Amino acid sequence: MNRIFESKEEFKELYLSSVTSLSGKPFEMTSDFDRFQALVKLVASKARSVQTETEKRVHDTGQKRVYYFSIEFLIGRLLDNYLINFGVRDLVAEALKEMGSNLETLEEYEPDPALGNGGLGRLAACFLDSMAHEGIAGYGNGMRYRYGLFKQEIVNGAQHETTDDWLVHGYPWEVRRQDKAVRIGFGGHVVGTEENGRMRYHTEGTDDVLAVPYDIPVVGYGGNTVNKLRVWSAEPVEEEFDLDAFNAGDYAKAQAHRAEAEAISAILYPNDAGEHGRLLRLKQEYLFVAAGINSVLDTFRKEHGSDWKLLPQYVAIHTNDTHPAMCGPELMRVLVDEENLEWDEAWDITTKTISYTNHTILPEALEKWPISTFSKLLPRVYQIIDEISRRYNAAFDRSQDGWQDRLRQTAILWDGEVRMANLSVICSHSVNGVAKLHTDILERETLKDFYALTPQKFNNKTNGISPRRFLAEANPSYAKLITEAIGTGWLDDAAELSKLEAFEGDPAFLERVGASKHENKVRLANYVRRECGLAIDPNSIFDVQVKRFHAYKRQLLNIFKVMDIYNRRIADPNFRVAPTTFIFSGKAASSYTFAKETIRLINSVANVVNNDPRVNEVMKVCFIPNFRVSNAQLIYPAAEISEQISTAGMEASGTSNMKLMMNGAITLGTMDGANIEIVNLAGAENEKIFGLTAPEVDELRASGMHFAWDMYNADPDRLGRVIDELTDDTFAALSGNFESIYNELMNGNDHDLVMKDFASYVQAWEELTQGYSDRMDWNRRALHNTACSGWFSSDRTIREYRDEIWGA
């Protein structure tokens, strides 16, 4: 462990000087905010000196550099994480206490940057953590959104979006690198000139903006490697401030360029409600891709000169989903137009350098752009895409039956659109899914034609999570217990968590597992009381579903279960229900009506249930607003049931399933995504599986034999009743009924099979919760889940990427 402070005394001295020099006040007069700022600045400066050493090591040994391009990085708060990774958390906490401060209080001042939507963005952040831990020279490349995603408030049960001004107090981790700013051109027209018998192209008349990078240190556990995350901000190029207009008093005109440029990095678009077709999103994608590629090549040039054929040997560029799909064409543009390489050589370099991960099979999430929009905004990049497409089509093997269809399926340009997923596959040497089932589905269905053509490109990389953040940091009481039992090795190598299996028969230990869970439930209950004004009982079962709201994730199925339990308890006060708190949290894309209505339904049910003394002994419903990394870290450790109930085949992997498992929750789920791998590792008897499997879902859909109305009529007392309650005012008091959900189900014929899986789901829940009375056995299952969760460490995932994709 490479500790940044040798002793408390050393820390105190440095910290004192950091606080006073930054605030300009005597220590006694400084505020908690001053102290927080000074602490971060101190840790960040230590991190940067390790970064300098890392950089030297990478340079001297000629280590391969990996660039992870992602439009989202949900990094969460960094201070606690970095103190843990540098091995000084306890030392710092104690020292601060002796100085009259409290580490946790100071940590509350750190903003939680909302630079992502959900799983994809958090995965990118866990990967940065693991790359640094594994000693990979791995760098994030993304966007610095001024306002991130929105802040979610609940008003009359409904989601309201407000701006998240996360940068208002500044962000002490980042360093602005004006010297590394890159000029990015949009629009204009392509000009070709002949040079030594060969055409060379450049673009004239562009509207330029400046992409300015901000660097954030990424500290790996063990403190030996510090990498960086580089995020780009869009700004006007300097000479565009209109001084004449300003002096004439027309301030708006003087600033017009600024406003237009800054719009590009103003907010992160919610990307899971289908295609919004916004030009700004395309500009964002090009900006962080072009600026990123420029800085990658800059570094390469400094180390290896212009020997571009060495690029794949020293550089890997990974594209996280299709948002950075322009990496291929942009790299081609630079190599061909600026570096004067022949097309074929440039193409060989490009495809050997780039790899791609797919994160969903949902067709509406596979990006497509109208050619007309694209070619106007990025004329030269479009020409290059057109040329990639032309060559792809020309080289297509026409000897086999059905080649026309295969070409149509895999074409980049089709129906007036640029298909970014196809572009990504064609520009990459590796294509991976994020769980076994997901990769199978990609190979068999979503990308089957590509798989038939180039099976060697395809591979699986089951997702993972950082055990430092989601166990050590989020769950200190459990982490302490684990460390007492098996030592600290699990922080380095989470596979060591399997040593916990030796304690599964130890009643005293299981007692302590339960006590730690209880402590975490009390902690969450306190948070819920503060945030929602709701009292929840830490002695009840905490049943948790936290993730983005989406029809296929079926939060609707969960709340139908709650409604059904409520109805049955009201009808029969002797109906036995294990006392449970049903906890939900997550955001819905602002344009996604169905998801937002589901949120309103949950809050409306909560309003009725929580105020009904007939059921309050046994149930409460709790919607925690504004789900983000920081409150997620309070929720996962308190969970006992992990709801993973997506329509089988639809959830690519899921990662909350892994976080909850590692924290000792039992999975109540379908055989979907990585749930399947959870069951394989921990045994079906230690989870609770229900519902249709992916092949059964396919078969049922293909048969056309699922009828919502039949389901409704067959079960009038329970399912029928729940459906009726969407429109009969039972839950309407807060802000009205739920006609649109009703219509979606009954007239849309229950596309996500909520009604189909309802009975088996509620039954599974009842069976599972009945087991809660045998607390020893429950705690044993919880511990067993933790013991089997080590494989889901993102360190393991990253080692697979390193060995099988990046060759780093």
Three-class HEC string of 445-502: HHCHHHHHHCHHHEEECCCCECHHHHHHHCCHHHHHHHHHHHCCHHHHCHHHHHHHHH
Active site residue 659: yes
The SS3 of residue 233 is strand
User: Which one, 236 or 467, has the nearer CB to ligand GPK?
Assistant: 467
Active site residue 359: yes
Taking the complex as a whole, the smallest distance from the CB of residue 426 to ligand GPK amounts, in Å, to 19
Catalytic residue among 151, 359, 457, 512: 359
User: Which one, 131 or 482, has the nearer CB to ligand GPK?
Assistant: 131
Catalytic residue among 65, 144, 548, 628: 548
User: Which one, 139 or 549, has the nearer CB to ligand GPK?
Assistant: 549
Active site residue 553: yes
User: Which one, 434 or 500, has the nearer CB to ligand GPK?
Assistant: 434
Paired sense of beta strands 580-585 and 417-419, if any: unpaired
Phi then psi dihedrals of residue 65, to 5 deg: -100, 135
Taking the complex as a whole, the smallest distance from the CB of residue 48 to ligand GPK amounts, in Å, to 30
Q: Which token pair is 638?
A: 């308190």
Q: Which residue is nearest to ligand GPK (CB)?
A: 119
User: Which one, 365 or 719, has the nearer CB to ligand GPK?
Assistant: 365
**Continuous segment of H or E residues that includes residue 68:** strand 65-69
Residue keyed to tokens 């995603």: 149
Taking the complex as a whole, the smallest distance from the CB of residue 782 to ligand GPK amounts, in Å, to 23
Catalytic residue among 64, 146, 547, 550: 547
Rounded CA gap, 234 and 144, in Å?
8
- Quick check: 788 and 681 in contact, CB under 8 A? yes
Active site residue 12: no
DSSP secondary structure letters along 607-640: HHHTT-TTTTTTEEEEEESS--HHHHHHHGGG-S
Taking the complex as a whole, the smallest distance from the CB of residue 322 to ligand GPK amounts, in Å, to 9
User: Which one, 461 or 780, has the nearer CB to ligand GPK?
Assistant: 461
Taking the complex as a whole, the smallest distance from the CB of residue 678 to ligand GPK amounts, in Å, to 13
Catalytic residue among 659, 721, 781, 796: 659
Catalytic residue among 410, 655, 769, 797: 655
Phi then psi dihedrals of residue 541, to 5 deg: -70, 135
| Residues contacting residue 155 through CB under 8 Å, at least 6 positions apart | none
Taking the complex as a whole, the smallest distance from the CB of residue 127 to ligand GPK amounts, in Å, to 10
Q: Distances from the Cα of 482 to the Cαs of 473, 502, 521, 638, in angstroms?
A: 13, 12, 18, 16
Helical spans, DSSP H, in 213-318: 243-247, 251-263, 279-304, 311-314
Active site residue 620: no
The SS3 of residue 547 is coil
DSSP secondary structure letters along 555-604: HHHHHHHHHHHHHHHHH-TTS----EEEEEE----TT-HHHHHHHHHHHH
Rounded CA gap, 59 and 64, in Å?
9
User: Which one, 118 or 236, has the nearer CB to ligand GPK?
Assistant: 118
Rounded CA gap, 578 and 563, in Å?
15
User: Which one, 240 or 321, has the nearer CB to ligand GPK?
Assistant: 321
Taking the complex as a whole, the smallest distance from the CB of residue 652 to ligand GPK amounts, in Å, to 4
Taking the complex as a whole, the smallest distance from the CB of residue 124 to ligand GPK amounts, in Å, to 9
Sites of contact with ligand GPK (CB under 6 A): 117-120, 123, 271-272, 321, 359-360, 365, 434, 463, 651-655, 673
Active site residue 499: no
Catalytic (active-site) positions: 359, 547-548, 553, 655, 659
